[in-house]
Structure formats: structure tokens, C-alpha cells
Amino acid sequence: MNWLDYIIIITYLGGFLGLGYFFKDNKSSKDYFLGGREVSWFPLSLSVMATQLSAISFISAPAFVGLRPGGGMSWLTFEFAVPLAMILVVVVIVPPLYKSGVVSIYEYLEKRFDASSRLLISFVFQISRSFGTGVMVYAVALILQSVLNIQFWQTIIIIGAITLIYSFQGGMRAVVYGDMIQMIILFVGILVSLGFGLYAIGGWHQFITHMDMSRLTAVNFSKMGFHDDGFGFWPMLIGGLFLYTSYYGTDQTQMQRMLSAKDTGTIRKLLTVNGLFRFPITFIYSFMGLVLGTLYFMDPSYQAALHQIFLAHTSLKSSTDLLVPVFIIKYLPNGIIGILLVAIMSAAMSSLSSTINSLSAVTVEDFIKRFKTMDDRQYVRVSRFVSLFWGIVCILFAFVAGGIADTVIEAINKIGSVFYGPVLAAFLLAILSKRAHAFGVNVGIITGVLVNVILWLFVPELFWFWWNAIGTIVTVVVALSLSTLIRKDYHKELLHIDKFQWKTRENMILAVYFVVIVLFSVSLPYIF
């Protein structure tokens, strides 16, 4: 790196400080947490995708594809369930939550059940999301430390402080438009890395000649994930359907964006766009992993540089996650290096800002408002300081994270998969079941989480993607059984249930698209 790269990084960080100031005029809760419900579908779509295309995706996914034994394009199977999950979210979950007018989606559970259900799920969300985000910041800081030659704590403070300031000032508008900018920068960074990687190899013909063809196999129908053989078609599809339905439909970080939309039609557009564009973006950065992995095995100096940095930083758990950062430093010209490192920071800041705003929303709505009456001015002031609190918590988690799994991206997904199933079950019961009551649902949630923790600790041969389905099923069975056996005196009616609109043009497109991406992935070995 030279002065040009540092100028690019400093200019970018300064620009985001200005972004928070630009959006600082928030007058109420719906302004600060929902952008006044005036945000259009395009920035919301990019914001939703930006939280998924995280720094870990940009760094770890290409390394998984290019270097990990048994990796390759099987990474694409992560995306198979997304179009189907979008259909379930937009048909079943979005209409009642949007019409209820809530800021924290967990308020819906109180309206349907009681305060205990709301507070339990809210607490689960805050712990799991803040810790998962801390792991992400930890990973990015370690990797940037290794290639920038700066202290680990300095990297965390840079990422955390800038994100804290613009999130503190600007609220949801700053988060959404910041995500939009970061998404564009990151996507450009992927394309630049892909182009320079092909150039370093010697062009397309050299790439095809030297590529490990076995890494093109994306789909395996025989692996069921029961004997330490993950990434099979069925566990990724079934487990992924529960995971993504929960993530997009019952996670405050995602639903808060949807609640910021002008109307449910805007939400349908943004979920359809997300369902259609996630796979091509994932394919591009996975293909980048193939290119960089091929270059790595062709160029001994690339291997030497990667292992030298890995040995110099003993806190790194795996050398494979250095594939992309070392490529940036070794093969790209100055100026482009700065842009690509900005892309990594962008992705980390996008995930962190979304978490901070969402954690602040559920804390203020679910806990503080319960005990303190506030006017709009007080509400915004309290919300800002709660955002500051959660930003500091996530940063502190980043300092103590590590040791959860062999790879950082697996660690983050494992944390989510413990909780996503039980949380999804709670919302499905709230929306669809007249029988379920608060006590049954609460015990079901706790049981579902405990079962997943037991599977994590004592059944390591079961692929963790299954936890999402198992947690949902266990929670539903326990909740309905207890609700039947133990009758409660009170009963609340279902909220805002309309006739489900399955046969829409968007849903038909997403269903067909699911078939297309599976067929395309199966055909990859025959295309090249």
C-alpha cells in the first residue's frame, strides 16, 4: 500500500461520517427506526442484499470454493432455498406484521400472546445477533490486521467507531443508503478481483487448462448431512428453507427494512429482487474463488506470501481466509488496493450498522418503552444512546470472539442456526395457530434452542443446517402439545389474517427461478 490507498480509505471513512450527519434529522420512532416508512424498493433491496453479501462472504466464501478440501461450487447450494423462502415470507409473514404497525417485530408476539413471549424472543435476538456480529467484526479485523500491518484493536476501533457515528446520527435512512453504497462498492470489488485474477493467470484458456475440474461439482443428491457429510442437496434445501424464512421473516435486522417500505407492494418487489439477484451475485464471487484458487496453485510465490503472513499472525485459525486479502496486496495496483480494502470494510460496516440499529429498535420498543413514557424528542435521543450502547457491545464481543468453529463463516452460521428455527416457529404459531398460547410457545422456544445446543455439543456428525428444521419442528410440537394439555383462561384471536395470495406473478417467477438455478448448478461440470 502507498499514500494513494490510504487517501482512498480515509476519504471513504470520512464520507460515511458525513452520511450520518446528512440524515441526522429524525423526529420520531418511525423516522429513526423505519425511515418514516418512505424508503423505496430499490435502496431497500440493495440494503437487504448488502447484509447478506458481508465481509465474510467476500473473504471466506471464495476461499471455501478455491482452497477448502471438499469445497468448490457446492457453496451455491446455500442459495437454493432462497427463492422459495421469499415466497413464504411475502405470503405468510409480511402481511400481518406490516399491518400491525409495529417497530419491533417482537411486539407482534405480545399482541398475539403476551409480554413474556415478546421479551423472550427479543432477548434471544439481542444475544445471538450481537454475538454473531462480534464474531464477524473479529474475523474481518484479524484479516485486515494481517495485510495492513496494523494492530488488531486498531482495526476493530476504525470499523466500529465510524459505523457507530453514522448509525448514531442517521438512524435507518443512514443504514439503508449506507448499505446501498457499500453494496455497490463490494460488487465492483468482486468484479475487479475476478478480472485481475484472470489476467494474472494468463487469460481464460490458462484458467480452464489449470482449474481443478472437481471443484465445479455443485450438487450432490446422495449426501444427507447425517454422517458428517454436509452440503448435500436435501439438507441445504430443507434446512435452508427454514433458515431463510426465519432470517428474512423473523429477524429484526431484515424485517425492519421491510417495515420501512411504503407499502406491501414495495416489500414484494424488494423480496422478489433479492430472490432473483442473490444467486448471480453468489455465483460471481464463488467463481472468483475458483479463479483465485487456480492462481494460488499455479503460483508458488502466492502460496509463500499467504503462508508467511499466516505464520506471522498466530491468532489466525486458518490460512485459507487470507486468499482474497493476500491477492489484493500482491497482485493489484495501488489505488485499486485501496478500493478493494474499502470494499471489505464496507461489508463489515454494513453488517454492523444493521445490527446496531435493529438491536436499538428492539431494546427501546420492547424494554425501555415498557417502563418509561417518552415524547418523540426524548425517544430519538434515547434511541441514539441505545445504538451507541449496542455498538460498543458488538465491538467488545469482537475482542473476545473466536474458538467457536474451524472457520469463521461456519461459526456465524452455527450461532444463527441454533436460534432461527425456534424463533420461526413462534411467529408461525402466532400467525397460523388459534390453539397456541404464550406458555406453550415459550416452553417450545426454550426446548427447541436446548435441543439444537445438545446437537451442537454431542452430535457433531449431524450437519448444522438441519438444526433450522429440527428447532422449528421441536418448538411447534412442544408448543401445540402443551397448549392442548394445559388450557389457559385467556385467548387472543389471530391478527390481520387475510386470504393467502400464493398465485401471484412474483411467486410464479420465484418458483420457476428455483428450478432454473438448481438445473444450472447441476450442469456446471458440463458447461466448462
Supply 136's cell numbers: 464477524
pLDDT for position 238: 95
pLDDT at 19 over 70: no
3-state DSSP call for residue 261?
A: strand
In a domain, 526, yes or no: no
The pLDDT-based confidence of 496 (bands split at 50, 70, 90) is: low
Rounded Cα gap, residues 219 and 89, in angstroms: 25
In a domain, 498, yes or no: yes
pLDDT at 264 over 90: no
| Domain at 394, CATH number | 1.20.1730.10
Could you report the per-residue pLDDT of 92-123, keeping only the tens digit for each?
A: 999 888 888 888 888 899 888 888 988 988 98
Higher pLDDT, 54 or 471: 471
The pLDDT-based confidence of 491 (bands split at 50, 70, 90) is: low
Residue in 434, 432, 433, 442 with CA at minimum distance from that of residue 117: 442
pTM of the model: 0.86
In a domain, 527, yes or no: no
Alpha helices in 401-504 (DSSP H): 408-432, 438-458, 466-485
In a domain, 147, yes or no: yes
pLDDT at 482 over 90: yes
In a domain, 274, yes or no: yes
Q: How does DSSP assign 1-46, residue by residue?
A: --HHHHHHHHHHHHHHHHHHHHT----SHHHHHHGGG-B-HHHHHH
pLDDT at 369 over 90: no
Contact between residue 147 and residue 326 where contact means Cβ atoms under 8 Å apart: yes
Q: Which of 11-15, 164-168, 301-305 has the lowest mean pLDDT?
A: 164-168
Q: What is the mean pLDDT of residues 62-74?
A: 89
Q: What is the mean pLDDT of residues 260-271?
A: 84
**Over pLDDT 70: what percentage of the chain?**
84
The pLDDT-based confidence of 406 (bands split at 50, 70, 90) is: very low
Higher pLDDT, 7 or 316: 7
Q: Which of 4-18, 113-127, 454-468 has the lowest mean pLDDT?
A: 4-18
Could you report the per-residue pLDDT of 168-198, keeping only the tens digit for each?
A: 655 566 667 777 777 788 788 889 889 999 9
pLDDT for position 401: 64
Residue in 171, 182, 164, 156 with CA at minimum distance from that of residue 51: 182
Give the chain's domain count.
1
In a domain, 151, yes or no: yes
Outline where DSSP puts E strands in 122-176: none
Domain assignment of residue 284, given as a range: 3-517
pLDDT for position 164: 75
pLDDT at 61 over 60: yes
pLDDT at 349 over 50: yes
Higher pLDDT, 318 or 425: 425
pLDDT for position 38: 61
pLDDT for position 523: 95
Could you report the per-residue pLDDT of 209-219, keeping only the tens digit for each?
A: 999 999 999 99
pLDDT at 83 over 90: yes
Could you give phi then psi for residue 518, rounded to 5 degrees?
A: -70, -45
pLDDT at 48 over 60: yes
In a domain, 431, yes or no: yes
How many residues can be counted in the chain? 528
pLDDT at 321 over 90: no
pLDDT for position 495: 64
In a domain, 437, yes or no: yes
Distance, CA of 479 to chain centre: 28
pLDDT for position 76: 94
The pLDDT-based confidence of 235 (bands split at 50, 70, 90) is: very high
Higher pLDDT, 139 or 320: 320
Higher pLDDT, 517 or 271: 517
The pLDDT-based confidence of 53 (bands split at 50, 70, 90) is: low
The pLDDT-based confidence of 28 (bands split at 50, 70, 90) is: very low
pLDDT at 37 over 60: no
Signed CA dihedral, 323, 324, 325, 331: sign only = positive
* Residues 6+ positions from 33 with CB-CB distance below 8 Å: 103, 171, 172, 256, 357, 360, 361, 364, 365, 383
Could you report the per-residue pLDDT of 371-392, keeping only the tens digit for each?
A: 877 777 787 788 888 888 888 8
